[in-house]
Amino acid sequence: PSGVEGGTLHLVDGDYDYYHYMQDRFDDNGWGCAYRSFQTIFSYLSLQGFVRGGHAPTHAEIQETLVRVDGKPPSFVGSKQWIGSFEICMLLNDLFGIESKLITVNQGSELPGKARELAAHFDQQGTPVMIGGGVLAHTIIGIDYNELTGRLKLLILDPHFTGGDTLKTIQDKGWCGWKDPSFFVATANYNLCCPQRPAGFF
């Protein structure tokens, strides 16, 4: 339980794989969090049959795509440059034809004001949400929200984990767990990439 008294759960609808730092023997510690969040979203879309593709795009493939569609310089490929929510939206659209809704929060302290919109996203679309911006990227896979009191917690899948894929460790250490809105930096801006289900999959 999240600890939100009288809250209603709104969760990802379907299976996904958890992608995080250092997987596939690739060292992206310190810069690859949004790439891993994108791979988690890809796994969800693939496992639901929304997209076709055998493997999650690699960091290099992601960078090559952004050079082509976002005008990034060729030197971007092979770099350790961060990407954000705008790039994730572009990748989903270009590679898989998946549209996304972008929610903008000028300050992390304003995130609770988007609780109703996030709850509706999980109820209607059910897809994982990538949140990023001026700071680190995370994947949101649910919200527990009490509309009357305004209290909420977010279920966060944290791509910054560097250990082995042991479920007990991931859960016990909070790498997948319920977080207060204060988990996010109050003064930082955030953008939330909310992938939309393809037509015919509702």
Cα–Cα distance between 1 and 142 in angstroms, integer?
12
The single residue of 20, 158, 176, 194 carrying the catalytic annotation is 158
Three-state secondary structure of 145-183: ECCCCCCEEEEEECCCCCCCCCHHHHHHCCCEEEECHHH
Q: Is 160 a catalytic residue?
A: yes
Please pick, among 17, 94, 160, 180, the residue that the annotation labels catalytic.
160
Sign of the alpha-carbon torsion through 155, 161, 164, 169: negative
Give backbone dihedrals phi and psi of 187, rounded to 5 degrees, phi first: -100, 0
What are the contacts of 74-78 at 24+ separation with CB within 8 A? none
Give ∠ CA 21-23-25 in degrees, rounded to 5: 115
Length of the chain: 202
Q: How far apart are the first and last CA of the chain?
A: 28
Catalytic option among 10, 28, 33, 89: 33
Tokens standing for 143?
Answer: 């919200």
Name the DSSP letter for residue 198: P
DSSP-derived letter for residue 24 is G
Q: Which sequence positions are flagged as catalytic?
A: 33, 158, 160
